[in-house]
């Protein structure tokens, strides 16, 4: 197999995620996270794809076909592993010390996940027999473009949904953060499932509306991102606060 083609597939698969990563890092330029931790979180997001795949194979055996149950459990597994990666690598650490951090880490882990997922989708036609490889290269490139505007945006929106809940409740009690975390996780699974169902079952206008909705989600996410930047610590009011990892009574 031509390794230059493999390199091209890797570049096309990863490039969209890198572009989005740079975009969101610039949004957080005022109080940036350690670049080393950002890289670790990105890599962790990509690594959990390896864990998700066997789970999804199992789900496919239990719920064969493209049904609601299969899509729901696929979405559940992806959102769960992305959250666990972000939590154990970054969110539970001492660098998670301001409201914007959980949201940022969830976005970064999602981008790592989609980078590897993109590569696997684009590489799929290139792993066929050499005699038919060239017939599938264009298909792989088109798949990459679709995933740029589709799956990449979906993973950002769904993971950021969890991050938004954690960020908006950053200074709230642990119980409230857990409650909103669970709610936002379930919402992320629903968003993910509905998107996949529409992409599989709808044509033309339906797909256009689906992508339009995801883009609207990105716009709302940007507005929330700016809102989270304005959240201040309630220390001055003498409230009991709970930061990323500690609780303090003032």
Phi-psi region of 190 (alpha: psi -120 to 50; beta: other; left: phi over 0): alpha
- HEC profile for 69-135? HHHHHHHHHHHHHHHHHHHHHHHCCCCCCCCHHHHHHHHHHHHHHHHHHHHHHHHHHHCCCHHHHHH
Q: How much is the pLDDT for 64?
A: 85
Q: How much is the pLDDT for 14?
A: 86
Domain residue spans of the chain: 3-249
Q: How much is the pLDDT for 131?
A: 47
Give 10-residue mean pLDDT values along the chain (250 residues).
67 83 89 93 96 92 86 95 97 92 96 89 63 50 54 86 95 93 96 82 62 82 91 66 49
Q: How much is the pLDDT for 146?
A: 55
Closest residue by Cα to residue 45 from 95, 120, 105: 105
Helix then strand count (H, E) for the chain reads 9, 2
What are the residues whose beta carbons fall under 8 Å from the beta carbon of 181, sequence distance 6 or more?
Answer: 162, 165, 166
| CA 144 to centroid of chain Cα atoms | 17
Dist CA 245 CA 169 (whole Å): 13
Dist CA 161 CA 155 (whole Å): 10
- Prediction pTM value: 0.84
The residues that bridge with 241 in the sheet, in sequence order, are: 248
Dist CA 144 CA 238 (whole Å): 52
Q: How much is the pLDDT for 249?
A: 40
Q: How much is the pLDDT for 236?
A: 46
């Amino acid at each position: 197999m031509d390794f230059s083609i493999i390199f091209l597939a890797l570049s096309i698969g990863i490039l969209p995620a890198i572009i989005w990563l740079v975009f969101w890092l610039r949004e957080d330029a005022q109080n940036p996270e350690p670049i080393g931790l950002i890289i670790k979180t990105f890599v962790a997001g990509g690594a959990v794809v390896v864990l998700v795949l066997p789970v999804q194979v199992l789900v496919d055996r239990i719920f064969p076909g493209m049904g609601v149950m299969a899509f729901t459990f696929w979405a559940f597994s992806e959102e769960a592993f992305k959250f666990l990666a972000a939590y154990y690598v970054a969110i539970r650490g001492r660098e998670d010390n301001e409201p914007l951090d959980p949201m940022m880490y969830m976005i970064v882990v999602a981008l790592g996940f989609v980078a590897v997922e993109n590569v696997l989708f684009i590489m799929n036609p290139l792993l066929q027999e050499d005699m038919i490889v060239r017939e599938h290269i264009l298909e792989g490139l088109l798949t990459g473009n679709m995933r740029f505007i589709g799956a990449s945006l979906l993973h950002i929106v769904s993971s950021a949904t969890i991050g938004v809940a954690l960020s908006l409740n950053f200074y709230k009690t642990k119980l409230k953060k857990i409650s909103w975390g669970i709610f936002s996780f379930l919402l992320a699974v629903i968003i993910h499932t509905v998107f996949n169902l529409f992409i599989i079952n709808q044509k033309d206008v339906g797909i256009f509306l689906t992508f339009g909705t995801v883009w609207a989600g990105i716009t709302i996410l940007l507005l929330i991102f700016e809102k989270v930047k304005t959240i201040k610590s309630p220390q001055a009011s003498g409230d009991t606060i709970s930061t990323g990892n500690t609780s303090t009574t003032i």
